[in-house]
Amino acid sequence: MIDLHCHSTVSDGTDSPTALVDLARAAGLHALAITDHDTLDHVDESVRAGAAVGVRVVPACELSCTTPPGVGTMHLLVYFPAAQGALEDALFALRGGRDERNMQIVERLRETGVDITMADVLRETGDGTVGRPHIAAALVHKGYVDSIDEAFDTWLARGRPAYLERTRLSPGDAIRLAHDAGAVTSLAHPGSLDLDDDALDGFVGALVDDGLDALECEYARYTREERDEYRALAGRHGLLPTGGSDYHGAYKPDLRLGVGRGDLDVPDEWLDALEARRPR
Ligand code: AMP
Ligand code: FE
Ligand code: FE
Ligand code: ZN
């Protein structure tokens, strides 16, 4: 069993990279990819921790991409990127765009009468990418809402009063940067695109033309039927399957590393196939 999608304190998870590796070992996982948002700063620590306890740790991250009107959220998982170079510069720029957007969200919240500052948000963060989950946590701690989900539903989700866009890469640019860094790419949680079957098929086909390598089929929050549909979709487009829990620690309390809600089991061979697809 392996897990190719989870988050540490270097973005919006609540376990450190080392703690995640320890959890992976305790869960009997053979390999782990930590996919923090817009950063590779978790890689060194986790690879070292993995070597110490005998868990294979794959360098990885998760990038947010632009989508056309009418399409929901697109995240791209990037596996085996070499550190340094154009990809890391792009990640640096993305984090800058996030910081600006986070400030604007806090200002917007203050305009609507919520007493919150950037200092409140930064108290919730680890040592990397800052995002909406940290703002949500600050709202919980200040007593404005009872849960992270309620903070998103009330203010932070797309369409809510304090939602603001941030800088993103186009899917084509993201895939190209990843390939140039020696990495392979997988379309994360395809359901978040919010497309019907035909539209999703067309959207994925266009990504395949851009060079997409894989599709995240075994995703912890999807039903067996949904997972099977995504496997069929991957098969039709010659995409490899990937899978993972999207474990975020306390930010997504229903999910456990490796097993998700208890019914996740991503086969080891999927990682070998992914690695074999690395550009050279
Ligand atoms: P950001 O990257 O800062 O825009 O924040 C996006 C992150 O917020 C995602 O990676 C999820 O972890 C989390 N998220 C998005 N929507 C929700 C939601 N409705 N409830 C809880 N967490 C969410
Ligand atoms: Fe996240
Ligand atoms: Fe994601
Ligand atoms: Zn994720």
Rounded to the nearest whole angstrom, what is the distance from the C-alpha of residue 113 to the centroid of ligand 3?
30
The reply to whether 36 falls in a domain is yes
Give 257: exposed, middle or buried? Use CB within 10 Å, 0-12, 13-18, 19+.
Answer: buried
The reply to whether 156 falls in a domain is no
Rounded to the nearest whole angstrom, what is the distance from the C-alpha of residue 36 to the centroid of ligand 3?
9
Using CA of residue 3, residue 171, residue 194, residue 7, what is the dihedral sign?
positive
pLDDT of residue 9: 96
The reply to whether 160 falls in a domain is no
Rounded to the nearest whole angstrom, what is the distance from the C-alpha of residue 85 to the centroid of ligand 4?
23
Q: Which residues in the chain show pLDDT less than 50?
A: none
Counting ligands in written order, which one lies closest to the CA of residue 188?
3
What is the domain range of residue 22? 2-91+167-276
pLDDT of residue 85: 86
Structural contact between residues 164 and 59, judged by C-beta atoms closer than 8 angstroms: no
pLDDT of residue 128: 86
Q: Ligand 1, atom 3: nearest CA belongs to which residue?
A: 131
The reply to whether 261 falls in a domain is yes
pLDDT of residue 259: 98
Counting ligands in written order, which one lies closest to the CA of residue 157?
1
Provide the token pair at 272: 């070998």
> Nearest 5°: CA angle at 133, between 264 and 174?
70
Instruction: Give the number of domains in the chain.
Output: 1
Rounded to the nearest whole angstrom, what is the distance from the C-alpha of residue 81 to the centroid of ligand 2?
19
Tell me the best of 132, 135, 192 to mutate to test the pocket of ligand 1, counting ligand atoms within 8 Å of each CB and taking the most: 132
Q: What are the residues facing 215 on neighbouring strands?
A: 187, 241
Structural contact between residues 128 and 42, judged by C-beta atoms closer than 8 angstroms: yes
The reply to whether 150 falls in a domain is no
The reply to whether 125 falls in a domain is no
pLDDT of residue 239: 98
The reply to whether 79 falls in a domain is yes
The reply to whether 198 falls in a domain is yes
Model confidence pLDDT, tens digit, residues 174-232: 999 999 999 999 999 999 999 999 999 999 999 999 999 999 999 999 999 999 999 99
Cβ < 5 A residues, ion ligand 4: 62, 246
Rounded to the nearest whole angstrom, what is the distance from the C-alpha of residue 35 to the centroid of ligand 4?
6
| Model confidence, pTM | 0.95
- Residue ranges lining ligand 1, Cβ < 6 Å: 12, 37, 131-133, 148-149, 152, 157, 248
171: CATH:
3.20.20.140
Rounded to the nearest whole angstrom, what is the distance from the C-alpha of residue 131 to the centroid of ligand 1?
8
pLDDT of residue 245: 98
Closest among 207, 189, 242, 249 to 22, alpha carbons compared:
249
- For the CA of 166, the closest atom of ligand 1 is 4
